[in-house]
Amino acid sequence: MTNSEGSDDLEPIADIDRLIHEPARLMILAHLYVVESADFLFLIRQTQLTAGNLSSHLRKLEDADYIEIKKEFLDKKPHTMISLTDEGRKAFKEYVESMKHVFIGLSEK
């Protein structure tokens, strides 16, 4: 096997979106993907991350324009509502597809 053949085999792995690939961020995006929007508390409960940890990951996702964070008032109480942007939704779909292709063709000889 030459070097170029080896790197061709590993190309799908190199294409993985590293921002999404982190387990905590993957969990956050998976939860946001299946709903229209969710508030901060809901994400804490569903992901079981700490508030600080969740904030840190949300900032990274917001910086990459994968999520949108808005302050809304519901029953006169402030709620930070988080939703996927169109780009974030597309990136997540592409990540799911790329993960499927990473393992296709892997066989034990």
Q: Helix, strand or coil for residue 84?
A: strand
Quote the CA–CA distance of 35 and 57 in Å, as a whole number.
18
Quote the CA–CA distance of 73 and 77 in Å, as a whole number.
5
Helices 23-33 + 40-47 axis angle, to 10? 120
When binding is defined by CB under 8 A, the residue of 22, 39, 68, 94 that contacts another protein is 39
Using the contact rule CB under 8 A, the part of the chain among 5-13, 14-22, 29-37, 101-109 near another protein is 29-37
Between 38 and 91, name the residue whose CB sits nearer to another protein. 38
When binding is defined by CB under 8 A, the residue of 19, 20, 28, 38 that contacts another protein is 38
When binding is defined by CB under 8 A, the residue of 10, 41, 48, 87 that contacts another protein is 41
